[in-house]
Amino acid sequence: MRLDKFLCKSTELTRAAATECIELGTVSVNDQVITEARFQVHENNSVVWKGERLVARPSRYIMLHKPLNTLSSNVDGDYPSLFHCIDIDRAEDLHIVGRLDADTSGLVLLTDDGRWSFEIIRPEKQCPKTYRVTLRDPIDDNVAVKFLAGVQLQNESQLTAPAQLNIVTKTEVLLTITEGRYHQVKRMFAAVGNRVNGLHREQIGSLKLDVELGLWRYLTPKEVADFL
């Protein structure tokens, strides 16, 4: 963890104030004064500020049911930020693990644990994500085979990784992918001549969405550990 982030997690300092304290030489790590905010701190390091050894607050892990027409961002834009759904102290310290488009609803994870989120989103992890997709046109019977083999997306050279398609009705399907390419689900159906009219993420890894629209809850220790 960066030293400036460690200070934020162990004090009430803002990121800017933490950086200033570090640059002024008021913070030491293992009895050595550190003036670089990006200096990496590990669990067994002794971090001291103003003569007091600091202890970071426990990391937080949150499941949120993202509504439509909200942004996966900590600031408002053309639509309001999904952070309006979360009323907790220091929500600004959280980051989003795997963003969703404004017109997509469903499961979003938030945390202030950078190493945990990296384990979920790094490509080598191939963490599966399941989406409920509403289509413009009835699904062709051969699309499941095409998705399993991989399809060619526009302006990309590599086929998509194998994806699992389960047909619910002719215009509603469940799609599980292990990649996170730009607008991937929409582009996959465009590649087979269809169009996505509605998109909702139901599951990440083994974690299924189980809170009502616009609500959130903390993950259990087991749910957190399942991603590692």
Q: Which residues form the catalytic set?
A: 101
Using CA atoms, how far apart are residues 93 and 112, in angstroms rounded to an integer? 6
CB 116 within 8 A of CB 226: no
Closest CA to 131 of 108, 156, 160, 97: 108
At 34, which amino acid appears?
Answer: I
Q: Is 68 exposed, middle or buried (0-12, 13-18, 19+ CB in 10 A)?
A: middle
Residues 6 or more apart whose CB falls under 8 angstroms from that of 28 comprise 34, 47, 48, 49
CB 165 within 8 A of CB 155: no
Do β-strands 216-218 and 27-29 pair in parallel, antiparallel, or remain unpaired?
unpaired
Closest CA to 60 of 13, 82, 92, 37: 92
Using CA atoms, how far apart are residues 145 and 221, in angstroms rounded to an integer? 37
Please compute Rg for the chain using Cα positions. 21
Q: How many CA atoms lie within 13 A of 175 on its CB side?
A: 31
Using CA atoms, how far apart are residues 202 and 133, in angstroms rounded to an integer? 10
